[in-house]
Structure 1
């Protein structure tokens, strides 16, 4: 380190060095680091961005969920993007909840919602648990967490460092932070935090200072693998999840926001990779997400679903096994 230089302080997390934390920054072991500002400008001004409609109504009406699902039943209702209501074992669980109109640090700019939430906020059943996979604005939405905390008082489970961000904005909300490989229990289920290949930032000075993760829920009705965002990473994390957990009744996998590949490959898998990931993880069914809600990247609004159909056909996956869920759509996941 040059004389006079000091190591940048991590404002969110202070903990021991590990195979994915260097004392200040988290990283993907043997992975791809996010590209820098020059590459961002090359992408933004390089053309090729398809125009989305101002509004893309869902073919499904807004859902009004039952208050409780138990026994062997497992039900998923799509809210939009990566936000889903998962109902299992008597618990109501939200993934990466976002009800805001934009996913941005600004209320007046940034990616805007093109379809209304598939569940009106006031129609939510009592929420027990919230999973926040990382701190990008399309996954960690402070305004929504503040509303959930005031009305439902759920437990929020999130990777290291994100709990600091959440508690600073919503001091009264119950948060639990997890490192990769850790396990906790909640109301009769267990939750494992597992690796994902991604990164984090809320601004320009905190890149990779909070961890990102996927989650495995082990429930009486089967195992659920929730991946909020990930690059494919040669399938390493999918293979590891299968080896550790044996397979899944349901995987919740992203398959949108992937173009241009030279910029997005390390952080967002494409539909082909999502289908391969499904097979590597040994998932019986998939609830697909991260498309047709906010335009984050170059591809057309309907491109991910069309590419997913092609990928499923190529890999002999019946369409009922990998469901690209639209806002308001309800998926009663078959038993396996």
Structure 2
């Protein structure tokens, strides 16, 4: 295949990963994932976040791709941390970044994976699309027994079907996801135990541990005609060890999301927040915070500690690989916040309360 053709395929696969354009299709006017009553964020066909536009049109996507000023990434960007070999259980709060937006959270004796992606590419195509530049921070075979998997939304860099099928077959965990994502997940293994919830709903995980689904300024799509037909979310884990707020992807919006979290749950012990995939701002701002906005969200939450993810593993957007770390450091300094209170995690890096 000629170089130009390869670049075209790779670019298209990157857009698919972000949900801009995809290859799956279905009958127009039908939601293939979810049927439910209309609500203040579901119109009978698509989900939405009131007063917070996040969509970009196909012409916008084409404009971005045609005028991209992408900083090149290295082919390899090894983590300075060795791959973690986590304990089988932890009674405290222990968090390790697997890579990109994938975490292992060990709390209250439970082992929880968030948006686990072990694939070499974050893409619907196994031969093209954003390629991993560092290995997972935990080898698949070193995972402890997995009790729960949390899925924030269905973009390919957060929901990788083969990874989830493999996890299900090895561990048979409970999978918690927003409305409509059960249909997608069961396409990879129809025996999966999936529970879906709406924003404002929760799942009791036992022994004082619960997970709550909350809104995010984002959207969903696996294909060209299914935009916003499955719900997306952030998660709040509540336990004796404290409140842990996790966002896979979100725009800052008016900041109300973060104020609402603090009002409902109190100031989190830990916030895991995205800090990458934010350039160009005219295209990404509504759906992806930049590091300065992540620091502002951290302040609004009143969190004791923040960990940054969604950078340094898959190149989805135009900023260079180190730009999120540099921008985070500058934003923390500008706000007078000690740098150790908001860490940009690398794969294999462990944070423990």
1:257-313 deviation line (CA, Å, top 9, x unaligned): 000000001110000000110111121111110000000000000000000000111
Map of 1:81 onto structure 2: 100
For 2:7, the equivalent position in structure 1 comes to none
Q: What's the counterpart of residue 3 of structure 2?
A: none
Contact 2:182/2:194 (8 A) holds in 1: yes
How far apart are residue 47 of structure 1 and its match?
A: 2.8
Q: Which runs of 5+ in 1 are unaligned?
A: 1-5
**Deviation (angstroms), 1:317:** 1.4
1:191 aligned to 2:202?
A: no
SS at match of 1:248: coil
In structure 2, C-alpha distance between the alignment counterparts of 1:157 and 1:282, rounded to whole Å: 26
Question: How far apart are residue 236 of structure 1 and its match?
Answer: 1.1
**Match in the other structure for 1:21:** 42
2 CA distance for matches of 1:34 and 1:110? 21
SS of 1:177 mapped into structure 2: strand
Matching residue within 78, 94, 103 for 2:113: 94
Taking the aligned partners of 2:324 and 2:28, their CA distance within structure 1 comes to 41
The Cα of 1:161 is off from its aligned counterpart by 0.5
Q: Distance in 2 between matches of 1:173 and 1:122?
A: 20
Q: Does 2:123 correspond to 1:104? A: yes
Instruction: Tell me, in whole angstroms, the C-alpha distance in 2 between the residues paired with 1:300 and 1:292.
Output: 9
Q: What are the ranges of 5 or more consecutive residues in structure 2 without an aligned counterpart?
A: 1-26
2:230 aligned to which of 210, 225, 234: 210
CA distance in 2, matches of 1:276, 1:309: 13
Report runs of 4+ in structure 1 exceeding 2 Å deviation.
Answer: none
- Alpha-carbon RMSD across the aligned residues, in angstroms, is 1.0
Deviations 1:47-82 (A, max 9, x none): 311110111011111111111110xx2111111000
Structure 1 position 119 matched with structure 2 position 138: yes
Q: Please show how residues 1-336 of structure 1 align to structure 2 within 5 Å.
A: 8-70=29-91, 73-188=92-207, 189-333=209-353
Cα offset for 1:149? 0.4
Q: Between Structure 1 and Structure 2, how many residues are aligned?
A: 326
Deviations 1:92-123 (A, max 9, x none): 11110000001111101111101100000000
Q: CA deviation at 1:187?
A: 2.3
Cα distance in 2 for partners of 1:58, 1:33 equals: 32
